[in-house]
């Protein structure tokens, strides 16, 4: 593998996309960007990264921030455990390391929410240490380079690639790591045939030589997602909307939601439930259906919009301005908020 590192790095120096986290690759900025880019497309992450780092430009600023403010800035990115762990790890960095990232893979790897890939990315990109950052992009590139049909989502393949990269890391470790990522995100991208004529590693690629690159990588069969039905209530009274906090643990832990129950209720059953909540609806305005897909679950949701005559203490009643500026509302529920006439 050592033969392809120089042409790859040379290609990256010419072709790298201008991304905000590459402008000043401090450990903090690399960390935030890599956490954001988990399960998030680069196009979506750009503006989130800029807003987040403007609001919290340092580890100390993030550690000192209110969790609700941090969650609000993350709103729409999903996978909220990521940002909770960012906040928690920032506190540890301030308390134990004076707000400075340790130049140690093991110390970084021990922080909440940081796995092998993120620790490797921080160490190599920010500190130029020869620590591989092996994600799906890198695994795909290497599977094609090796013409290897081993499923890339197996521990065995990840270990093989990590060990092979450790043995060949060049002196420009940070550039090499970013070049591998860039190649896997662009020329040798997912869900399409690789653009082999543009690839700086084509002369070293067995998949290209054997004509198998487009059929790689192999993956294990996907498990079917569990289906769940929900009825969501968008309740309005005197210009305010009913919200409640989700439980502190589990899916979307601690975030705000519209009141909801399992199953798909008829209008008659919905009115009965509102009565159980001591709410007297003056009008059921409309009902719409929406779907939201999580990693392992699909929510099939019916949203019922209703005017009620009085506010009850079971819920927190917020104005539209408060919801838009203060309440971290997950995308699953924001689908219904966008349909309200609250502007």
Catalytic (active-site) positions: 34
Count CB neighbours of 262 within 10 A: 9
Q: What DSSP element (H or E) covers 87?
A: helix 81-97
Q: What angle do CA 128, 145, 122 make, to 5 degrees?
A: 20
Q: What is the largest CA-CA distance in the chain?
A: 73
Q: How many CB atoms lie within 10 A of CB 7?
A: 16
In terms of Cβ atoms closer than 10 Å to its own Cβ (0-12, 13-18, 19+), residue 224 is exposed
| End-to-end alpha carbon distance in the chain | 57
**Cβ count within 10 A of residue 170:** 14
Q: Is the CB of residue 207 less than 8 Å from the CB of residue 147?
A: yes
Tokens for 44, please give them: 């979506």
CA–CA dist 1, 314 (Å, integer)? 62
Determine how many CB atoms are found less than 10 A away from the CB of residue 312. Answer: 15
């Amino acid at each position: 593998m050592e033969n392809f590192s120089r042409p790859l790095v040379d290609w990256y120096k010419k072709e790298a996309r201008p991304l905000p986290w590459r402008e000043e690759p401090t450990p903090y900025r690399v960390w935030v960007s890599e956490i954001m880019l988990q399960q998030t497309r680069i196009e979506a992450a750009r503006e989130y990264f800029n807003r987040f780092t403007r609001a919290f430009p340092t580890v100390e600023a993030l550690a000192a921030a209110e969790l609700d403010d941090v969650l609000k800035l993350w709103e729409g990115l999903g996978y909220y455990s990521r940002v909770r762990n960012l906040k928690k790890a920032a506190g540890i960095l301030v308390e134990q390391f004076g707000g400075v990232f340790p130049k140690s893979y093991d110390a970084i790897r021990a922080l909440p929410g940081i796995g092998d890939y993120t620790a490797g990315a921080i160490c190599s990109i920010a500190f130029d240490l020869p620590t591989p950052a092996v994600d799906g992009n890198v695994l795909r590139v290497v599977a094609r380079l090796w013409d290897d049909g081993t499923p890339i989502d197996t521990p065995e393949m990840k270990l093989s690639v990590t060990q092979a990269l450790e043995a060949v890391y060049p002196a420009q470790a940070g550039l090499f790591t970013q070049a591998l990522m860039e190649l896997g995100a662009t020329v040798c991208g997912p869900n399409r045939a690789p653009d082999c004529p543009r690839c700086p590693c084509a002369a070293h690629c067995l998949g290209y030589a054997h004509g198998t690159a487009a059929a790689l990588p192999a993956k294990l069969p996907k498990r079917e997602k569990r289906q769940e039905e929900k009825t969501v209530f968008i309740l309005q009274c005197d210009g305010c909307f009913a919200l409640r906090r989700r439980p502190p643990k589990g899916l979307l832990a601690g975030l705000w939601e519209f009141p909801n129950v399992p199953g798909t209720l008829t209008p008659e059953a919905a009115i009965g439930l509102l009565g159980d909540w001591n709410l007297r609806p003056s009008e059921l305005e409309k009902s719409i259906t929406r779907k939201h897909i999580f990693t392992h679950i699909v929510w099939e949701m019916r949203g019922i919009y209703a005017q009620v005559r009085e506010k009850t203490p079971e819920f927190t009643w917020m104005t539209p301005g408060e919801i838009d500026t203060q309440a971290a509302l997950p995308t699953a529920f924001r689908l219904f908020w966008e349909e309200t006439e609250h502007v």
